Amino acid sequence: MKNIYSLLPDSASVSENGDFIISRFTIKELAEKYGTPLYIYDAVTVQRNIQILRNCLSRYYPGDSTITYAAKAYFSYPFAQHIAKMGIGVDIVSENELLFALKAGISPHKIHLHGNNKTDSELDGAIQSNIHAIVLDNFDDLNRLTHLSTRNYSVPVWIRINPEIDVNTHPYRQTGHALSKFGFTISDGQAENAIRELLSNPKFQLRGIHTHIGSQIFDPHTYSEAIHKMLAVAKKSQWLPVEVCPGGGWGVPYHLEEIDLDTGIEHWIKEISKTIQEEYQDTSFIPHLFLEPGRWIVARAGIAVYRVGGIKSLPNGEKLLAIDGGMGDNIRPSLYQAKYEALLAENPLGKPVTRYKVVGRYCESGDTLLEEIDLPEVQAGNHLIIPVAGAYHLSMASNYNLVPRPAVLWIENGEVTVLQKRENLWDSWWC
Ligand code: LLP
């Protein structure tokens, strides 16, 4: 059944007086105390998602496995501490992500560094910190690391293969097609040459093979295609990787029409597991499997809360509902035409009576958060809740118009803690 609750955090509900609540807090009280726009993460949802991933892995994969959260979906220092407590690793792409992860207590043995253009300082930081693997993306990356690794031991690396397949997602989210900037391509021999070079160069310890074909994907078969292709090139290069990572990218529904697309995370893990077992059936071992989900762990755990400033009627009868955030904290509708649902915090179960277009506060005509949404009557001062706001909103947020980035809360065991204070631009930029 298409139900708004399947888009909401596990701790969300509606109180007896009809208020939207999360854990034991009404949105109104949180918005009053912490201001808006406000992002709220529900610990239970994050913890449960990780447990579901773990259960699926132990059910379907016979070998060892590790979950490494893709920090780019959302990261902050307190959030990294929660990730550390949950015992999973992280995939990182910058020095600050590395710093936050290490300081928060995430084991370096569960950290991988990605990136198509890593700096010397990022590579050096990764070497000094003894992370599990640097994921080599192209020959420039490989050459840079060759020059940097002057020490007497081999740097542990993975190789990222571009399997040259198209996946069904927004073009900006595809990363495994032949013209992508990511990974060593197979058809022109780059992948094979790189593997041979890495195997013969004592400066490297080639531990694993990696691919990431894109994001917001619902078809498990594209993963088997990618895994078959990357392992075929490894075999051709006389190499049987002991670590295999098919990336992340499993999708989540954002609005009611997408709920049917969601065939469940177990289909993803089952298919990956089956494919790897097929590939290794003639060998005496099964590789260590690494999964790198970002969105699937945090997207539904987060909601965004905005205050309605006013409602403008257009000559064509449309009603524009203006909120106090927009493309500065959520660029996804402008960048990918991403669609969302919205709920009125003061009357979440109310009968929809009016169709609104929800526009942001930024000086840009493309700053539209929802093209259309049917809601009960809304008044200035009401609060609008956007579900599935936990991934790639804040991590891609900007300071356009010098608007500070929102405050971010974490709700666990009926307690609120702050993951990020509302930004103070004066302090962070000039003082
Ligand atoms: N591994 C690698 C190497 C990645 O580049 C990514 C995401 C992931 C794992 C995690 O993918 P996820 O499980 O979160 O889909 N801004 C876009 C998504 C960009 C994803 C970038 N890479 C969006 O808002 O849809």
CA of 319 to the centre of ligand 1 (A): 34
106 and 246 fall within a common domain: yes
User: What is the spatial distance between Cα 406 and Cα 172, in angstroms, rounded to a whole number?
Assistant: 25
Where among 297, 325, 354 does a domain terminate? 297
Closest CA to 303 of 424, 397, 394, 422: 394
Where among 238, 267, 297 does a domain terminate? 297
Q: What pTM was computed for the model? A: 0.97
Q: Residue 241: what are its φ and ψ, rounded to 5°?
A: -60, 140
Average pLDDT, the chain: 95
User: What is the spatial distance between Cα 390 and Cα 298, in angstroms, rounded to a whole number?
Assistant: 5
Give Cα 10 distance to the centre of its chain: 19
Query: At a CB cut-off of 8 Å and minimum separation 6, what does 331 contact?
Result: 393, 396, 397, 398
The answer to whether the CB of 196 falls within 8 A of the CB of 241 is: no
| Of residues 361 and 263, more confidently modeled | 361
Closest CA to 164 of 130, 131, 213, 119: 213
Q: For 52, which DSSP code?
A: H
Closest CA to 291 of 106, 50, 94: 50
257 and 342 fall within a common domain: no
CA of 155 to the centre of ligand 1 (A): 25
100 and 129 fall within a common domain: yes
Q: How confident is the model at residue 372 (pLDDT cuts 50, 70, 90)?
A: very high
Greatest CA separation for the chain: 73
Q: Whose CA is nearest to atom 20 of ligand 1?
A: 215
231-270 confidence digits (pLDDT tens): 999 999 999 999 999 999 999 999 998 887 767 899 999 9
200 and 335 fall within a common domain: no
Atom of ligand 1 nearest to the CA of 217: 15
271 and 309 fall within a common domain: no
Q: How confident is the model at residue 310 (pLDDT cuts 50, 70, 90)?
A: very high
Q: Whose CA is nearest to atom 16 of ligand 1?
A: 392
181 and 254 fall within a common domain: yes
| Of residues 177 and 409, more confidently modeled | 409
Q: What per-residue confidence (pLDDT) applies to 431?
A: 57
User: What is the spatial distance between Cα 92 and Cα 368, in angstroms, rounded to a whole number?
Assistant: 30
Rounded percentage of the chain residues whose pLDDT exceeds 90: 90
Which tokens sit at 156? Answer: 């542990």
Grouping H, G, I as helix, E, B as strand and the rest as coil, residue 224 is helix
| Ligand 1 pocket, residues with Cβ under 6 angstroms | 70, 72-73, 91, 114, 173, 212, 215-216, 247-249, 292-296, 332, 336, 391-392
Q: For 46, which DSSP code?
A: H
Range of the domain at 148: 43-297
291 and 316 fall within a common domain: no
Q: What per-residue confidence (pLDDT) applies to 260?
A: 76
Within 87-132, residue ranges assigned H as helices are 95-104, 120-128
Q: Residue 44: what are its φ and ψ, rounded to 5°?
A: -55, -40
13-51 exposure pattern, b = at least 16 Cβ within 10 A, e = fewer? eeeeeebbbbbebbbbebbeebebbbbbbbbbbbbbbbe
Q: Three-class SS string for 125-184?
A: HHHHCCCCEEEECCHHHHHHHHHHCCCCCCEEEEEEEECCCCCCCCHHHECCCCCCCCCE
262 and 323 fall within a common domain: no
Q: What per-residue confidence (pLDDT) applies to 261?
A: 75
Q: How confident is the model at residue 151 (pLDDT cuts 50, 70, 90)?
A: low
Task: Report in angstroms the alpha-carbon separations of 42 from 77, 262, 302, 409.
Answer: 17, 21, 6, 9
Query: Residue 194 is inside which H or E element, if any?
Result: helix 190-200
8 and 111 fall within a common domain: no
Q: What CATH number does the domain containing 341 carry? A: 2.40.37.10
Task: Report in angstroms the alpha-carbon separations of 201 from 125, 135, 142, 214, 235.
Answer: 21, 16, 11, 30, 18
Q: What CATH number does the domain containing 211 carry? A: 3.20.20.10
Which tokens sit at 196? Answer: 């041979």
Number of other CB atoms surrounding residue 308 within 10 Å = 22
Rounded percentage of the chain residues whose pLDDT exceeds 70: 99
112 and 21 fall within a common domain: no
* 363 labelled catalytic: yes
Catalytic residue among 56, 245, 363, 431: 363
Where among 297, 322, 343 does a domain terminate? 297
CA of 300 to the centre of ligand 1 (A): 15
Which tokens sit at 405? Answer: 């980035």
How many CA within 13 A on the CB side of residue 116?
10
Grouping H, G, I as helix, E, B as strand and the rest as coil, residue 70 is strand
Whether 169 has a pLDDT exceeding 90, the answer reads no
Q: Whose CA is nearest to atom 12 of ligand 1?
A: 249
Whether 285 has a pLDDT exceeding 50, the answer reads yes
271 and 322 fall within a common domain: no
234 and 253 fall within a common domain: yes
Q: Count structural domains, the chain.
A: 2
The answer to whether the CB of 355 falls within 8 A of the CB of 392 is: no
Whether 2 has a pLDDT exceeding 90, the answer reads no
User: What is the spatial distance between Cα 333 and Cα 364, in angstroms, rounded to a whole number?
Assistant: 13
Please give the single-letter amino acid code of residue 1: M
Q: For 2, which DSSP code?
A: -
Q: How confident is the model at residue 149 (pLDDT cuts 50, 70, 90)?
A: confident
Q: How confident is the model at residue 1 (pLDDT cuts 50, 70, 90)?
A: very low
CA of 383 to the centre of ligand 1 (A): 30
